[in-house]
Structure 1
Amino acid sequence: MSKQAVAVAIMVLVAPGAFAGKPDKQEKMDKVQQDVILLQTVSVIANEVEASNVGASTLSHDQIETRQASSVQELLDTLPATSLVGSPRAGGQTINIQGFGSMDVEHVQLKLDGAPKQFRKYQQGSLFLEPELLKSVDVGKGPHSSMNGNGGFGGVVNMKTKDAKDLLKPGQVVGGMVKTGFHSNNHLELYSGTVYAGDKDNPFDVLVNITKRRAGNMKEGDGNTFNYSGMNFLSGLAKVGYDFGNGHEISLTHISGRDASRVPWAAKAGLFDGYAVDELYRKTVWRETDDTNTIFKHQFTSPSVEWLNTDLTLSYVDTKQHDTRPEEASKYSGSNMGNENWTHYKTLFAELKNNQLIETSLLAHDLTYGVQYLQGKQDTLMLDLQPTHVKSGEYNHGLYQPWYMPSGKQTTMSVFFQDEVSWNDLTITPSLRYDHVVNQGVENLAPRFNNPAAGHDYSQKSYSDLSST
């Protein structure tokens, strides 16, 4: 039940000449009393609402629809202690939570339907996803959960995709909708179409969505053009769910997105003021980004065993990026991923967890425990057309992995336990997590960067640690 607090303010206005000159004390007081104007009493009545969790924020389906954001990062920019970092270009935005950014040693972890997404290319955004596909976004701030593991020091952003039941009206079995939009700033055009089917008496639940965004360069408030900030993004979602009716529910989700546009190599960079047109053009790349996500979930709530409530998540995420520089850039330095480059991230994830509620006369325990397997693979390659490198065998004639972004694989196996202990309005959450990490590098194609004597070591390394909060 909400409570009301009443504050009463009495405002006193004193005339500017009230203290003019140097009269004695009594004369001052008389003068002040004459010049005082008593304003009407103001009563302020506020409703005291239930306190929210300061360590978390949530965007609902209706809030997402209202914001009409052009990216997930832009969507999150309105949440407390959460901000957008980078530029408005496609793939040029990252998320900052309480000062920790998702490009700085992966301080912010990104999840889609509980499955992690990883993309760590230097000066690039970390997320390629159409906000039209989301029904809610939960932001956990800080390293307060043992279920997040590596990369979640700043927090975690968990995005949940839409289901048919989120769109079906009461009594409706089949539905569909189309949506279009236009932004005058960058002439953005939005086209979205969705069909869905299912109801409470039907075990099947299916949803299919296709969304297209196309835009030109943005303009800032002062009229300056944000060069090469256009986009041409096409995405799709297909989701099927089935309820077996005996406590078992499964769902299969596939999301794919593609953007092809000309951007600066460092997509997070700013306006590039002061550059001549031809010089700025040489700093750009034609970038093609393909992002696919496949997620299988199985949830089981036992009708007879009170403590058995399992959740199984299996996912495979595949993100590819291909950059091609203008031909006239060939005579310049081959740094910053060369004249042409290929980046490929593959993430395989499996998690099995159980949730158990134990209530006593004094305390309530909300237990979550389980195991995780995460394998991330990074493949990189670049074509360096500097004349001296093309002729040199030490540089494999210009085709090699960037020394600052080598190829490799990381495998993490984890066990976690978390207990939310509640007593009246007080909740504490002790947790424990064990991680075993194995890193395996890939030798560089260029002998110049594959020399053990120079410290180039691509051998397997493993680490183990126990953490608690």
Structure 2
Amino acid sequence: MTSPRSLLTRPSALALAVTAVITTGQARAADSGYTELDQVVVTESRTAPDTDVLVTQDSLEKKQATDLDDIFSDTPDVAVGGSAPGAQKIYVRGVEDTQLNVSVDGATQAGQIFHHQGRVTVDPELLKQVEVSAGAGEATNGPGALGGAIRFVTKDPEDMLRPGQDVGGTLKTEYYSNTDGYKTSASLYGNLTDNWSAMGTLSRTELGEYKDGNGETQPYTDSELLTGFGKVVGQLTDEQKVSLSYERTEDEAFRPFKAHFPGSWSTPIDQEVLRETITGKYGFTPATTIWWIPS
């Protein structure tokens, strides 16, 4: 018969045996020359707050972007359907732009003419950067952002000026062989005072019918675009900045009623689309003191 004392003694002996094995293992690991590494912390990295993709001015200039498709050509999360400017639609992870919060300098582009037409027409030449927030769930994306948000930010006059330059101008002409089309643009920008600056841009684009990958001309894909843009920026103090901008885009073409369908699928008609955007912004960036931190 086993005594109660022997039952209490056996677990203690087992614990000592396990401890000895663990200690021996640690000693062997130390003798083998293993090196303990510093702790590695993995965190999320984003280009900016609530922004997943940032298309910079440098990227737009290198690609010589002419339309929405060129703007997002290097962005896997964003696809652009349609070829003619009036038919281009933006999709973020498969969600159409009608379910996105699309804005130009903070002004939401909420209007929609017809679900077979594109509703966002932006001249890439005017853009400083494009911010894309892909996917739902962030309150900072604003209302209507089921699939995320796209924020187009236009250039300020100082973005056009060279270092040490007070006044400047640009005159450009481009030719497109596929559509036998062209684009001409003229810009004037400069400092009005030490704290105020202004710029103005006028561009005209005429595109013929384009050829597809098989070399076949697609009917009713020509268009005429006229874009005017003006902006005034004032640095009131080191902490306060105001800006007022106006943009007007006209798109005229003889295209199918359902613009993203081939001509034989929809009756061509004369179309004229006009978009005007007026934006006033006030920014305050405290230099030293943060008055309130939300918990």
Are 2:271 and 1:287 equivalent residues in the alignment?
Answer: yes
Are 2:134 and 1:151 equivalent residues in the alignment?
Answer: no
Are 2:109 and 1:114 equivalent residues in the alignment?
Answer: no
The correspondence for 1:129, drawn from 122, 142, 145, is 122
Give runs of aligned pairs for residues 57-456 of structure 1, distance below 5 A. 57-85=53-81, 87-102=82-97, 106-120=98-112, 121-198=114-191, 202-270=194-262, 272=263, 275=264, 283-303=267-287, 306-307=289-290
Residues 246 and 60 (structure 1 numbering): CA distance in 2 closer, same or farther, change over 3 Å? closer
Given that residues 191 and 212 in structure 1 are in contact (C-alpha distance below 8 angstroms), is that contact kept between their aligned partners in structure 2?
A: yes
- Report the residue type matching 1:97 in the other structure: V
Counterpart Cα distance in 2 of 1:77 and 1:268: 19
TM-score (normalised: structure 2)? 0.78
Aligned-partner SS, 1:147:
helix
Residues 299 and 149 (structure 1 numbering): CA distance in 2 closer, same or farther, change over 3 Å? closer
Q: CA deviation at 1:246?
A: 4.9
- Residue 31 of structure 1 corresponds to none
Residues 285 and 220 (structure 1 numbering): CA distance in 2 closer, same or farther, change over 3 Å? same
Q: CA deviation at 1:96?
A: 0.8
Given that residues 78 and 92 in structure 2 are in contact (C-alpha distance below 8 angstroms), is that contact kept between their aligned partners in structure 1?
A: yes
User: Cα deviations across residues 355-382 of structure 1 (Å, max 9, x unaligned)?
Assistant: x6x5xxxxxxxx6xxxxxxxxxxxxxxx
Aligned-partner SS, 1:91:
helix
User: Cα deviations across residues 277-323 of structure 1 (Å, max 9, x unaligned)?
Assistant: xxx7x80110011111000001123456x225xxxxxxxxxxxxxxx
Aligned-partner SS, 1:62:
helix
Counterpart Cα distance in 1 of 2:54 and 2:215: 34
After the TM superposition, list the runs of 4 or more consecutive aligned residues in structure 1 that deviate by more than 6 angstroms. none
Counterpart Cα distance in 2 of 1:153 and 1:64: 27
Given that residues 74 and 84 in structure 1 are in contact (C-alpha distance below 8 angstroms), is that contact kept between their aligned partners in structure 2?
A: no
Q: Percent of aligned pairs with the same residue?
A: 26
Q: CA deviation at 1:83?
A: 0.7
Counterpart Cα distance in 2 of 1:260 and 1:227: 15
Q: CA deviation at 1:52?
A: 4.6
| Superposition RMSD in Å | 2.2
Aligned-partner SS, 2:187:
strand
Q: CA deviation at 1:176?
A: 0.8
Counterpart Cα distance in 2 of 1:233 and 1:111: 20
- Report the residue type matching 1:65 in the other structure: E
- Listed as ranges, the gaps of 5+ residues in structure 2 are 1-42
Aligned-partner SS, 2:62:
helix
Given that residues 174 and 196 in structure 1 are in contact (C-alpha distance below 8 angstroms), is that contact kept between their aligned partners in structure 2?
A: yes
Counterpart Cα distance in 2 of 1:152 and 1:63: 26
User: Cα deviations across residues 177-212 of structure 1 (Å, max 9, x unaligned)?
Assistant: 11111110001201111111029x810110101111
Residues 248 and 150 (structure 1 numbering): CA distance in 2 closer, same or farther, change over 3 Å? closer
Counterpart Cα distance in 2 of 1:51 and 1:220: 41
More strand as a share of residues: 1
TM-score (normalised: structure 1)? 0.50
User: Cα deviations across residues 13-64 of structure 1 (Å, max 9, x unaligned)?
Assistant: xxxxxxxxxxxxxxxxxxxxxxxxxxxxxxxxxxxxx985396111111111
Counterpart Cα distance in 1 of 2:126 and 2:83: 19
Given that residues 133 and 141 in structure 2 are in contact (C-alpha distance below 8 angstroms), is that contact kept between their aligned partners in structure 1?
A: no
Given that residues 203 and 228 in structure 2 are in contact (C-alpha distance below 8 angstroms), is that contact kept between their aligned partners in structure 1?
A: yes
Residues 225 and 202 (structure 1 numbering): CA distance in 2 closer, same or farther, change over 3 Å? same
Counterpart Cα distance in 2 of 1:260 and 1:126: 14
Counterpart Cα distance in 2 of 1:77 and 1:152: 22
Given that residues 247 and 302 in structure 1 are in contact (C-alpha distance below 8 angstroms), is that contact kept between their aligned partners in structure 2?
A: yes
Given that residues 208 and 239 in structure 1 are in contact (C-alpha distance below 8 angstroms), is that contact kept between their aligned partners in structure 2?
A: yes
- Residue 390 of structure 1 corresponds to none
Q: CA deviation at 1:150?
A: 3.1
Aligned-partner SS, 1:119:
coil
Q: Which has the larger radius of gyration?
A: 2
Counterpart Cα distance in 2 of 1:163 and 1:226: 38
- Could you say which structure has the greater relative contact order, defined with CA pairs below 8 angstroms and 6 or more residues apart? 2
Given that residues 68 and 80 in structure 2 are in contact (C-alpha distance below 8 angstroms), is that contact kept between their aligned partners in structure 1?
A: no
- Report the residue type matching 1:211 in the other structure: S
Q: CA deviation at 1:145?
A: 2.1
Residues 222 and 178 (structure 1 numbering): CA distance in 2 closer, same or farther, change over 3 Å? same
Q: CA deviation at 1:146?
A: 0.5
Aligned-partner SS, 1:202:
coil
Given that residues 134 and 147 in structure 2 are in contact (C-alpha distance below 8 angstroms), is that contact kept between their aligned partners in structure 1?
A: yes
Work out the number of aligned pairs and report it: 249
Aligned-partner SS, 1:158:
strand
